[in-house]
Amino acid sequence: MTTCIHAGGGKLRYRLIDCKGQVQGCRKISSLSSVTSYRCSQKELSWSCGVSKFLNIQRCSFSQSPIGENWRIIRTVTSSCLRDGSTKYFDFAVIGSGVAGLRYALEVAKHGSVAVITKAEPHESNTNYAQGGVSAVLCPSDSVESHMHDTIVAGAHLCDEDTVRVVCTEGPDRIKELIAMGASFDHGEDGNLHLAREGGHSHRRIVHAADMTGREIERALLAAVHKDPNIFVFEHHFAIDLLTCQDGSDTVCLGVDTLNTETLEVTRFISKVTLLASGGAGHMYPSTTNPKVATGDGMAMAHRAQAVISNMEFVQFHPTALADEGLPVKLSKTRENAFLVTEAVRGDGGILYNLAMERFMPLYDERAELAPRDVVARSIDDQLKKRNEKYVLLDISHRPREKVLSHFPTIAAECLRHGLDITRQPIPVVPAAHYMCGGVRAGLQGETNVRGLYVAGEVACTGLHGANRLASNSLLEALVFARRAVQPSIEHMKSSALDFSASNWWPRPVVPRSLGSNTADKILMLTWEVRKEMQAVMRKYVGIVRSTIRLKTAERKIGELEAKWEEYLFQHGWEPTMVGLEACEMRNLFCCAKLVVSSALARQESRGLHYTSDFPHLEESKRLPTIIFPSSPVQSTWSSRQLHKQPIC
C-alpha 107 chain-centroid distance: 22
Q: In whole angstroms, what is the distance from residue 250 CA to residue 59 CA?
A: 9
Closest to 475 measured CA to CA, from 174, 152, 156: 174
CB atoms within 10 A of CB 516: 12
Q: In whole angstroms, what is the distance from residue 227 CA to residue 215 CA?
A: 19
DSSP 510: B
Q: In whole angstroms, what is the distance from residue 437 CA to residue 176 CA?
A: 26
Q: Looking at this protein, which amino acid is placed at residue 345? A: V
Closest to 442 measured CA to CA, from 302, 639, 241, 637: 302
Active-site annotation holder among 373, 378, 441, 469: 373
**Within a 13 Å sphere around the CA of 485, how many CA atoms are in the beta-carbon half?**
34
C-alpha 471 chain-centroid distance: 15
C-alpha 207 chain-centroid distance: 22
Closest to 409 measured CA to CA, from 196, 212, 135, 217: 212
Q: In whole angstroms, what is the distance from residue 161 CA to residue 173 CA?
A: 20
Going from the C-alpha of 50 to that of each of 44, 444, 479, 480, 537, the distances in angstroms are 7, 8, 21, 18, 38
Going from the C-alpha of 456 to that of each of 119, 163, 217, 461, 464, the distances in angstroms are 17, 13, 16, 8, 12
Q: In whole angstroms, what is the distance from residue 298 CA to residue 585 CA?
A: 11
| Residues 266 and 206 sit within 8 Å (Cβ to Cβ) | no
- CB-based contacts of 395, cutoff 8 Å, min separation 6: 350, 351, 352, 353, 426, 427
- What DSSP letter does each residue of 211-225 carry, written as one string? T-HHHHHHHHHHHHH
| 373 noted as active-site residue | yes
- CB-based contacts of 364, cutoff 8 Å, min separation 6: 371, 375, 378, 379, 382
Q: In whole angstroms, what is the distance from residue 518 CA to residue 445 CA?
A: 49
**Within a 13 Å sphere around the CA of 71, how many CA atoms are in the beta-carbon half?**
24
Q: In whole angstroms, what is the distance from residue 508 CA to residue 520 CA?
A: 20
Q: In whole angstroms, what is the distance from residue 20 CA to residue 14 CA?
A: 17
C-alpha 437 chain-centroid distance: 7
Helix residue ranges, H only, 159-315: 161-181, 213-227, 297-304
**Which residues are catalytically annotated?**
373
